[in-house]
Structure formats: C-alpha cells, structure tokens
Amino acid sequence: MSTRIVGFVALLLLAPPAWLSSAEAQTKVRFALDWQIQGPQAPFITAKALGAFAAQGLDVTIDRGTGSQKTIEQVATGTYDLGYGDVNSMIEYNVKNPQMPLIAVGMVLNSPPFALLSLKRYGGVSPPLRRLVLPLAVFAGLVVVWEMAVPALRIPQFVLPAPSGVVRTMVQTAGPIAFHARHTLVTTLIGFAAAVVPLLVMWFGIGAVPAVLTAFLLAFFPVAVNVALGLATLEAELRDVLRALGASRWQIFRKVGVPRTMPLFFASLKVAISSAFVGSVISETVASNAGIGYLMAVAASDFNTRLAFGGLFVLAAMGVALYGVFAAIERRMTAWAYAE
C-alpha cells in the first residue's frame, strides 16, 4: 500500500520519500499548488526564484492548481511528488480511499490569510467615527420611517405629528423653547451637581427649588451606590499586599480605592444625568412656571402636539449631549480600564 503525504491550506504535500534519499544533484521534483499563484503560494515561488531549492540539489517544477481536491488526487496518483492543499479535503480523501492514505507533515498557515481590501484613496472609517455614524444612521432611518408612516397610515397630527411638522413648530417657537430649555438645563445641572457633591445639599436647604431637589434625589443614589460598591469590592489580596508594603488606609484609598471606583463612578454619572432630567421635568410639570416640563404641560393642555414633541426633542438632545460630555471625560480619565 503506497503512502503519500499531503497538507492543507497551510500544509505541505509530500509524495513518498524515495526521492529524498537520492544523492544525485538536481533531483527533479514535481510540485502542485492548490490554486493560482497568490499570497499564500508566494513562499514557494520566492524560494525557487532565490535558488533555495537548487542549493539543496532539487530541480523543482511548480504548477498552479485548480483546487485542493484536484491537487490531492494528483499527489495520490503520483502525477506530482509534492502538493499544497487543504487538510480537510485530505482527510475526506483518506476516508474514501483508505488504500492510498495521504499524510500531512507541515503547517504553513494556522489561519486563512483573508483580509478586507480597499484602495487607499477611499480611506477608512476609524472606530470613533463608526461609533458615531451607526447611531446617527439608525436615528435617521427611524425618522424617515416615522415621516412616511404618518401620512401613509393617516394618523391625525394631534395624535402623532410628522417629524417635519415638529421641526417647523420648533423653528417658529425657537425663542420660548430656548428659554424653557435653559431653565430645565440649569435646574438639572444644579441637582446633578448636588448628587456629585452631596455637601452642596446643605447650601440649598428645605426651601430649594423643587426641581433641583427632585433631580438631586433621583441622581444621588445611583452615584452613591456604585461608588460604595466599588470601594466595598476592592480585592482583599490587593489590600493585604499594600498593607504588607507599609501603605496606610488613606494611601490604599487614594492609590487603589479611588482608581478602582472611577469606572463605576462615571458609569453611574451617565445614568444619573438621565434620571436628573426626568426629575426636573416631573417637578416642572407640577410645581413650576418655567422649564421644558412646564412647556410640554402647557402644549398638552392646548393640544399642541407638535410643540410638545419639540420640547421632547430638545430634552433628548440635552440628555444626549451631557451623556456624551461625561463619556468623553470618562474615556479621558479611565482609558486604562477599557481595551479597544
């Protein structure tokens, strides 16, 4: 039973080793590739061009192939002494032809050398740009569907106005919207600052603006709980090592505890800012004469759905903007905690 040696996308195919024992100079060797000459086949062509085979006393003839299956069959039948092909095809061939087994003896590649290619002039999309473009594309798609669905489904404008109508109303009432948006933003930021620095609560006292206190109450607890969780889950082994090195409790807190809690701190800030806006709007709706919540309540009482949606859009834009600000600060201060 003859035995021949084959490889895979990454394996060298060898025929019986009889020719290897020949002491004659320039032993002729027939070598079949798995496909036309491309990157994966380049090492064999390069070796021949540089005379590496001739230096070993081999006169190698290299022919292009038409697929691994064909190459394997040619090696098995003795048409070629060497072959370069797919190991899976070799295994399948051995199962079907146990009387003429092939052997893979050397791995050339451990993964397919495939890549996405483009002309340099087209440039590329950087990861930060991809993170920006994808959400914007999804948002734009939703707006387009919304715009087309309203007239197609004959939805009354006072129930669900089209985005174009909302934009027109926002332009017409830009002044009032800007005034109320500024009021909501200020009360939210004040309440949010109180959540970040709890000592500021004492400055406001019981008589503080309801929107500020509501924003504070909704924003404070996510921040406090996450920071406390980060400090409480500090690895005991790390604490013991620092103590063995002579670190005080303050040094452990400053050098390890604070950095350990920063990712959780910023994650809670991004959640808390949304909660702070919710608190401000709720308070403005029932206990204020200014702010986006007040504006939306008035618009709802007048059945001005477009203005109500305009206030909602502005509120969403402010929330996204502040979220982006904290995300940027987080990346700046805790880049070590995130791997691209």
Residue in 31, 102, 92, 36 with CA at minimum distance from that of residue 66:
36
Q: Which residues contact residue 16 at a Cβ distance below 8 angstroms, ignoring those fewer than 6 apart? A: 2, 3, 4, 5
Task: Tell me the sheet residues that pair with 14.
Answer: 5, 82
Residue 196: per-residue pLDDT: 43
Residue 323: per-residue pLDDT: 84
Under 8 Å between Cβ of 193 and 177: no
Residue in 176, 175, 223 with CA at minimum distance from that of residue 196:
223
Average pLDDT (293-307) is 82
The CATH 1.10.3720.10 domain(s) of the chain lie at 156-333
Residue 279, both tokens: 């608190």
The CATH 3.40.190 domain(s) of the chain lie at 4-103
Please tell me the distance from the alpha carbon of residue 322 to that of residue 303, in angstroms, as a whole number: 30
Please tell me the distance from the alpha carbon of residue 81 to that of residue 75, in angstroms, as a whole number: 6
| From the candidate CATH numbers 1.10.3720.10, 3.40.50.300, 3.10.20.440, 3.20.20.100, the one assigned to the domain spanning 156-333 | 1.10.3720.10
Q: Residue 10 — pLDDT band, cuts 50, 70, 90?
A: very low
* CATH code given to domain 4-103: 3.40.190
Residue 337: per-residue pLDDT: 67
Please tell me the distance from the alpha carbon of residue 129 to that of residue 258, in angstroms, as a whole number: 31
Residue 13: per-residue pLDDT: 41
Residue 215: per-residue pLDDT: 66
pTM above 0.85, yes or no: no
Using one digit for the tens of pLDDT, what is the confidence trace for 234-292? Answer: 777 777 777 767 778 788 777 777 777 888 888 888 877 777 777 777 777 766 677 78
Q: Which residues contact residue 327 at a Cβ distance below 8 angstroms, ignoring those fewer than 6 apart? A: 266, 270
